[in-house]
Amino acid sequence: MSDDKLTKILTFIHQRNPEVGELNLDDDLIDRRAVDSLAFVEFLYLLEELSGETIDPEEIDVEDFRTLRAIDKRFLHGAAAH
Amino acid sequence: MPTTVKPVKLDLARLEAMAESDYYNPYTIFDWPESLGTDRPWMSEDLVTLAGTEEWGKLTREQQLALTRFEAVNFFSLNVHGIRELLSEVVLRIHTKTYADASEFLHHFIGEENEHMWFFGTFCLKYGGKVYPAVPQVGPGRIEGVGDAATELVIFARILIFEELVDYFNARMATDDSLPPIAQEINRVHHQDESRHVAFGRHLFTQLLDQVKETRPEDIPVLANYLETYLEYSVRSLYNPAVYRDAGLDQPLELRRRLLEHPARHAAHTAILNRTRKFLARNGLQVQGASA
């Protein structure tokens, strides 16, 4: 994941939940309440913009959103996972 | 479901009598044409998400009409998903001690909502070829750190907010003669039933809020913030990039962002949410400076 994309994702998270604190690539975003159900739609649209690909809500697996590393692998071509 | 919430006390005889006297058979009352044609709007033009902005004027007439078709299908899809979610919560509560006083009315409510979901879904599938999918829930759908009464209040407040928001659209489209008759009719029927549901929802909301004020008044500002966030979430769900994509509009995500920042759309949101915000404010749940 490019630093630019990671920064945009973290900015989104911290704007909505400033209390979440520092996040590492393997932190559980759902357990940490980094993205809640009311923010999730907007989060999807952000990932669509960053990936340049349409995300079908019916084909979403919540596990794909659990960590920054999983998001990177599923939507941003896994640059950070290697 | 919490057991510490005291039974609600509601006098619903009038609403129950109305539900019985207003009853209709949704499966037989509508005249569903084979197709609706593409030469008239399917959604009131002043209700589409581009209304009041220069973006609307940039479209050809064909694009404008296409947008009304996909926005109508999106609006009815939101109804389908909203009803599905509220039904699941209400079904869990009927015939519990807390809601025993409301169970007779809740039977009418569940029956009517199921029928609404059927006719909205039928419109989407018959004329739009699909129901726009809902985004799945991620994480808890509840507020954390509040008491049981506040948790119950949030459930019914979400239902009330959803109903009041869609009713704003139903009321307008029920009398819009530019729409196909079937679109007017299902908006009219929904508006008629929702008037009773909103009245019920407000009674229940007030009862549960009184319990919050008695037992955990510190939950009130948390509730106010959550409900304002929920209002904004609800109105933003009207702006679906898939709709813009289907209508052939360029750069749907950028378009959505521009629209959400547009002053004309902020004014539209204020109008859509006005009745609900006033109700919340009268009950001490006002968020200062709120804007969707």
CB pairs under 8 A between A and B: 47
Helix (H, G, I), strand (E, B) or coil at A73: helix
Whether A7 is covered by a domain: the verdict is yes
pLDDT of residue A44: 93
Token pair, residue B32, equals 């569903």
The CATH number covering residue A69 comes to 1.10.1200.10
Identify the residue with better confidence: B281 or B142: B281
- CB of B241 within 8 Å of a chain A CB? The answer is yes
- CB of B141 within 8 Å of a chain A CB? The answer is yes
Q: Closest-CA residue in chain B for A54?
A: B242
| Candidate from B138, B253, B256 with C-beta closest to A40 | B138
Cβ atoms A44, B135 nearer than 8 A? yes
Tell me the pTM: 0.93
Identify the residue with better confidence: B16 or B261: B261
- What digits encode the pLDDT tens for the residues B185-223? 999 999 999 889 999 999 999 999 999 999 999 999 999
- What digits encode the pLDDT tens for the residues B155-166? 999 999 999 999
- What digits encode the pLDDT tens for the residues B88-139? 999 999 999 999 999 999 999 999 999 999 999 999 999 999 999 998 877 7
CA B283 to chain centre: 20
- What digits encode the pLDDT tens for the residues A29-38? 988 888 888 8
> What does pLDDT average to over chain B?
93
Q: Mention every residue, 6+ apart, whose C-beta is less than 8 A from residue B148.
A: B2, B3, B4, B5
pLDDT of residue B256: 98
CB distance A48–B241 less than 8 Å?
yes
Average pLDDT over residues B80-88: 94
Whether A68 is covered by a domain: the verdict is yes
Cβ atoms B200, B15 nearer than 8 A? yes
Interface-testing mutation among A41, A50, A62, A67, with chain B (most B C-beta atoms within 10 A): A41
Distance CA B131, CA B227 (A): 27
* Confidence grade of residue A81 (pLDDT, cut at 50, 70, 90): very low
How many domains, chain A?
1
* Confidence grade of residue A78 (pLDDT, cut at 50, 70, 90): low
Q: Closest-CA residue in chain A for B144?
A: A33
* Confidence grade of residue B34 (pLDDT, cut at 50, 70, 90): very high
pLDDT of residue B209: 97
Instruction: Kindly list the residues from chain A whose CB atom is less than 8 angstroms away from the CB atom of residue B231.
Output: none
Whether A81 is covered by a domain: the verdict is no
Q: Does residue A80 carry a pLDDT above 60? A: no
| Candidate from B133, B141, B245 with C-beta closest to A37 | B141
Average pLDDT over residues A15-29: 89
CB distance A41–B245 less than 8 Å?
no
Instruction: Kindly list the residues from chain A whose CB atom is less than 8 angstroms away from the CB atom of residue B230.
Output: 38
Nearest to B173 by CA among B76, B47, B24: B47
CB distance A37–B140 less than 8 Å?
yes
CA terminus-to-terminus distance, chain B: 31
CATH for B53-282, among 1.10.620, 3.40.50, 1.10.287, 1.10.3470? Answer: 1.10.620
pLDDT of residue A82: 43
Q: What is the SS3 assignment for chain B?
A: CCCCCCCCCCCCHHHHHHHHHCCCCHHHHCCCCCCCCCCCCCCCHHHCCCCCCHHHHHCCHHHHHHHHHHHHHHHHHHHHHHHHHHHHHHHHHCCCCCCHHHHHHHHHHHHHHHHHHHHHHHHHHHHHCCCCCCCCCCCCCCCCCCCHHHHHHHHHHHHHHHHHHHHHHHHHHCCCCCCCHHHHHHHHHHHHHHHHHHHHHHHHHHHHHHHHHHHCHHHHHHHHHHHHHHHHHHHHCCCCHHHHHHCCCCCHHHHHHHHHHCHHHHHHHHHHHHHHHHHHHHCCCCCCCCCC
Instruction: Kindly list the residues from chain A whose CB atom is less than 8 angstroms away from the CB atom of residue B242.
Output: 54
Q: Does residue A6 carry a pLDDT above 90? A: no
| Candidate from B141, B229, B253 with C-beta closest to A48 | B253
Q: Does residue B290 carry a pLDDT above 70? A: no
Average pLDDT over residues B143-161: 93
Q: What region does B74 belong to: left with phi over 0, alpha with psi -120 to 50, or beta? A: alpha
Whether A48 is covered by a domain: the verdict is yes
pLDDT of residue B18: 86
Q: Does residue B142 carry a pLDDT above 80? A: no
| Candidate from A37, A38, A49 with C-beta closest to B253 | A49
Task: Please give the residue range of the domain that contains residue A13.
Answer: 3-76
Which residue ranges make up each domain of chain B?
53-282
Instruction: Kindly list the residues from chain A whose CB atom is less than 8 angstroms away from the CB atom of residue B233.
Output: 38, 41
Average pLDDT over residues B226-252: 96
How far does the CA of residue B125 sit from the closest CA of chain A (Å)? 16
* Confidence grade of residue B140 (pLDDT, cut at 50, 70, 90): low
* Confidence grade of residue B273 (pLDDT, cut at 50, 70, 90): very high
How far does the CA of residue B134 sit from the closest CA of chain A (Å)? 7
Binding-face residues of A in 41-70 toward B, CB within 8 A: 41-42, 44-45, 48-49, 54, 56-58, 60, 62, 65
Whether A57 is covered by a domain: the verdict is yes
Q: Does residue A69 carry a pLDDT above 70? A: yes
Q: Closest-CA residue in chain A for B242?
A: A54
Q: B288: buried, middle or exposed (CB in 10 Å: 19+, 13-18, 0-12)?
A: exposed
